[in-house]
Amino acid sequence: MPEGHLVHRHADEQHAALSGRVVRATSPQGRFDARPYDGRPVTEVEAVGKHLLYHVDGAPAIHVHLGMRGLFLRHADPSAVPKPGTRLRLATDEVAYDLIAPLQCEPLGPQALAALRASLGPDPLRGDATRSEAVERLTAFRGPVGAAVLDQGVWAGIGNAWRAELLFLTGLHPGAGGIGLDAAARLWEAATAYMPLGRDAGQIVSDPDAPDERWVYKRERCRRCGAAVRTWQLASRTAYACPVDQPG
């Protein structure tokens, strides 16, 4: 599933291409009613955690969650024939974006949109997120920190790869419970420092000097010390930890 850095990357690119422009909206697959959006200007494309939102003048927001299989295709030629399974196409005279196989693609009115926002914790990639709220939500979670950071109601946008790497960078064991204020603040600072690098690069970046490498995620041995990386199931996902750098 694309993590928040990739959803923000999609949102930033599409905002630059579509905002302020009238779009031709269609559903080649026929599973989304695009008629309320056709011929209207897009006012904003934004990401909130793993959710992407299109704001269109005079119409409900379009809410997209890519899930495990969803993807966007960009066509420099807006007349290009869409691939089978295209749920939504938004096109201008210069470009077209196709949404294929999303988990969710639905209209959201003001109340539903407010409910979605309220269900999500602070997003490290959004300017309206505050460290104080992030620390408060994380320290209030009753369970291991490795479960907390995957709970989108605690922090929005973090998935399994970022969990592994951010916890390593801050020396926190995924199974640690009762995380304190200082550790929570340190983890938030790491998320706000590294996730923008990932957004800009289009991949997880946990070491700016070696952006294609990971410290523990999907590694047999820790890249820092060489110890065998421990793995186990935590919050229905594989957790990774170095027994030396993240003692538990």
Domain boundary among 70, 88, 119: 119
User: Is it the case that residue 184 has pLDDT exceeding 90?
Assistant: yes
User: Is it the case that residue 178 has pLDDT exceeding 90?
Assistant: no
Interatomic CA distance for residues 107 and 61, integer angstroms? 6
pLDDT digit string, tens, across residues 78-130:
999 999 899 999 999 999 999 999 999 999 999 999 999 999 999 999 999 99
Tell me, yes or no, if 122 is annotated catalytic: no
User: Is it the case that residue 1 has pLDDT exceeding 90?
Assistant: no
DSSP string, 167-179: HHHTT--TT--S-
pLDDT digit string, tens, across residues 42-53:
999 999 999 999
pLDDT of residue 77: 97
Do 114 and 141 lie in one domain? The reply is no
pLDDT digit string, tens, across residues 192-241:
999 999 999 999 999 999 999 999 999 999 999 999 999 999 999 999 99
Average pLDDT for 61-72: 97
pTM above 0.95, yes or no: yes
> Out of 2, 107, 124, 144, which one is annotated catalytic?
2
Domain that includes residue 200, residue range: 131-241
Do 89 and 155 lie in one domain? The reply is no
Domain boundary among 72, 95, 119: 119
Within-domain flag for 108: yes
Average pLDDT for 58-73: 97
Mean residue pLDDT of the chain comes to 97
Structure tokens at 117: 């926002």
> Out of 9, 50, 126, 199, which one is annotated catalytic?
50
Within-domain flag for 247: no
Do 96 and 168 lie in one domain? The reply is no
Average pLDDT for 132-152: 98
Q: Where are the alpha helices (DSSP H) in the chain?
A: 4-18, 110-119, 131-140, 145-148, 160-169, 181-201
User: Is it the case that residue 148 has pLDDT exceeding 90?
Assistant: yes
Do 143 and 107 lie in one domain? The reply is no
Domain boundary among 119, 154, 173: 119
Report the share of the chain in percent with pLDDT over 90. Answer: 98
Within-domain flag for 248: no
Interatomic CA distance for residues 214 and 238, integer angstroms? 15
Candidates 153, 37, 46, 61; CA nearest to 113 is 61
User: Is it the case that residue 29 has pLDDT exceeding 90?
Assistant: yes
> Out of 60, 219, 237, 243, which one is annotated catalytic?
237
Do 106 and 65 lie in one domain? The reply is yes
Within-domain flag for 126: no
> Out of 3, 122, 124, 214, which one is annotated catalytic?
3
User: Is it the case that residue 248 has pLDDT exceeding 90?
Assistant: no
CATH number of the domain where residue 53 is located: 3.20.190.10
**In the chain, how many domains are there?**
2
Within-domain flag for 44: yes
Tell me, yes or no, if 2 is annotated catalytic: yes
CATH number of the domain where residue 205 is located: 1.10.8.50
